[in-house]
Amino acid sequence: MERIRAASPTLSDESPVPDLAVQAPGPKVLPLREWVEAVRSPGVTREEVEGLLHGLSAPLAEGESTRERADQLLHLLQDEALVELTDQDGRQAGPAALEALLALGYPYALEVHPEVLSRLDRLRPWTLPRSGRWGLGLAAFAALLPTVTVVLRSTRDWSRYLDALAILGGVLFLPAVLSVVAERYRLRWLKALCNSGLVLMGSLSLLFARMFSSDGDFPARLASMGIGLALLGSFLCLRHREEP
């Protein structure tokens, strides 16, 4: 029996050749200067911002030298409007440009001006550290403890003390809040002043606890001791993040 063999199809000269190379999606590989010029023009689009962020970490384009790439990165870092450009993933052009410049190595990484670094540092998202949360929590405990003590000791007419208790709670809690704010904006003098206030109020509270012990007022002694220890603990937590 004769075996029938299927003829393999052949491509004629007129038949089109399929393009098997599929171009990867994403922005075109262009010199960085073209992306910078694009985002500097009015009416910048999201695609241009995405292209700029992609171009910052992309390899050198054809005809683009390392010196040219470094100059474009330095110009971008000195432009306050460009460094704040943000893509849909939340990446900012400023930190990305600084990272790209540092990746170029010596001597380009040494050409960044200190004021540029300080400006970029302010752009970084800031979150309250764990020690700061503990410090605020202890200060809040110290601020609420006088109110709890008065309510437990005075079953009637304790509401007439609310104004005084609110002022006392604010005085006890405010230094911790200002210490966190001072840390955020690097106000060393304000942070040192607030931390000193926590130490002073904590020491006075422990002193009052000693005085109440001689009078035999155990609830007042316990409350004063709790306030003092909480404020000193708040100082230690907030001082842990204090910069030298």
**What residue ranges do the domains of the chain occupy?**
32-123, 130-239
Indicate if the pLDDT at residue 45 is higher than 80.
no
Give 17's pLDDT tier (boundaries 50, 70, 90): very low
More confident residue, 222 or 113: 222
How many CB atoms lie under 10 A from the CB of residue 227? Answer: 26
How would residue 28 be classed by pLDDT, with cut points 50, 70 and 90? low
pLDDT at 10: 43
Per-residue model confidence (pLDDT) at position 207: 92
Residue 56 contacts residue 97 (beta carbons within 8 Å): yes
pLDDT at 107: 80
Spell out the alpha helix ranges (H) of the chain: 32-40, 46-57, 66-77, 80-83, 93-103, 114-123, 130-153, 162-184, 188-215, 218-239
Which candidate, 5, 7, 103, places its Cα nearest to that of 59? 103
Residue 122 confidence (pLDDT)? 61
Assess whether pLDDT exceeds 90 at residue 237.
Answer: yes
User: Residue 19 above 90 pLDDT?
Assistant: no
Which pLDDT belongs to residue 125? 59
Secondary structure letter of residue 86 according to DSSP: B
Residue in 95, 75, 2 with CA at minimum distance from that of residue 33? 75
Q: What is the pLDDT of residue 12?
A: 43
> How would residue 136 be classed by pLDDT, with cut points 50, 70 and 90?
very high
pLDDT the model gives residue 18: 39
> In this predicted model, what pLDDT tens digit does every residue of 156-203 receive, in sequence order?
777 788 888 999 999 999 999 999 988 877 788 889 999 999 999 999
Residues with Cβ within 8 Å of 132's Cβ and at least 6 positions away in sequence, in order, are: 180, 183, 237, 238, 241
pTM of the model: 0.53
Distance CA 55, CA 29 (A): 7
pLDDT of residue 135: 93
Residues contacting residue 81 through CB under 8 Å, at least 6 positions apart: none
How far apart are the C-alpha atoms of 77 and 95, rounded to whole Å?
9
